[in-house]
């Protein structure tokens, strides 16, 4: 083999080899988000947005575009799913305590407001996950209202809630 061929193979071989190490797929065969929709009677429009932008990493059902068959892209996605699900899993939202539901609903609203979610790398590949101002507003207000209504219905008190109220009253005084 020529020197050049050896160099090319040394570079390519590991890349070829890693293609055989595939992460397990995150697919429970159920409609993603159904649990969340049933729990809170989520409006269709919001369900659609969450489906396009969040469920791939935060539910038990991920859509896998063709390029995720290539490693290390598949590995990176698997890592995001694992971390994402351990933070919030919309497929298991009904198993959270009221207190946890409230704090997660607020976290969702905050992360979207601060443009931290969906992840940048995900938006690069998923046009529909680049949320418009209107879509963000729908998520933010709906999640906050839902958190408030659980709070009122169940009388759950959390520290986060206090921070949240301070935050809104602060906003109100600024926006007069
Ligand atoms: C590409 C995968 C991916 C997508 C898509 C995604 N997330 Fe995440 N999400 C993550 C990861 C990974 C973490 C953990 C981040 C960390 O630990 O730094 C996370 C964390 C979060 C958290 C923090 C949870 C907590 O308890 O503080 C919230 C809230 C959240 N995501 C909401 C959303 C929402 C809402 C969407 C859709 C608009 C979304 N995410 C889309 C991967 C994703």
Of all protein residues, the one whose alpha carbon is nearest to atom 37 of ligand 1 is 54
Smallest Cα–Cα separation from 88: which of 68, 73, 115, 107? 107
Q: Which atom of ligand 1 sits closest to the CA of residue 88?
A: 24
Pocket of ligand 1 (CB under 6 A): 53-54, 56-58, 80, 83-84, 87-88, 104, 107-108, 111-112, 117-119, 122
Global confidence as pTM = 0.86
Tell me the domain boundaries of the chain: 23-174
d(CA 33, CA 48): 9
Using one digit for the tens of pLDDT, what is the confidence trace for 112-159? 999 999 999 999 999 999 999 999 999 999 999 999 999 988 876 554
Using one digit for the tens of pLDDT, what is the confidence trace for 6-62? 999 999 999 999 999 999 999 999 988 899 999 999 999 999 999 999 999 999 999
Q: Which of 36, 49, 84, 114 to mutate to test the pocket of ligand 1 (most atoms within 8 A of CB)?
A: 84
């Amino acid at each position: 083999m020529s020197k050049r061929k050896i160099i090319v193979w040394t570079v390519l071989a590991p890349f070829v080899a890693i293609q055989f190490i595939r992460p397990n797929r995150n697919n429970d065969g159920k409609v993603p988000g159904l649990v969340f929709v049933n729990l809170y009677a989520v409006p269709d429009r919001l369900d659609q947005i969450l489906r396009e932008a969040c469920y791939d990493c935060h539910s038990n059902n991920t859509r896998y575009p063709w390029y995720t068959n290539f490693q290390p892209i598949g590995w990176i996605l698997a890592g995001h799913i694992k971390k994402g699900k351990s933070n919030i899993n919309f497929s298991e939202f009904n198993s959270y305590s009221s207190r946890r539901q409230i704090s997660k609903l607020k976290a969702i609203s905050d992360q979207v407001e601060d443009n931290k979610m969906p992840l940048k790398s995900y938006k690069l590949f998923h046009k529909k996950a680049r949320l418009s101002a209107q879509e963000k507003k729908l998520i933010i207000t709906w999640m906050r209202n839902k958190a408030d209504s659980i709070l009122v219905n169940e009388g759950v008190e959390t520290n986060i809630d206090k921070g949240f109220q301070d935050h809104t009253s602060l906003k109100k005084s600024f926006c007069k």
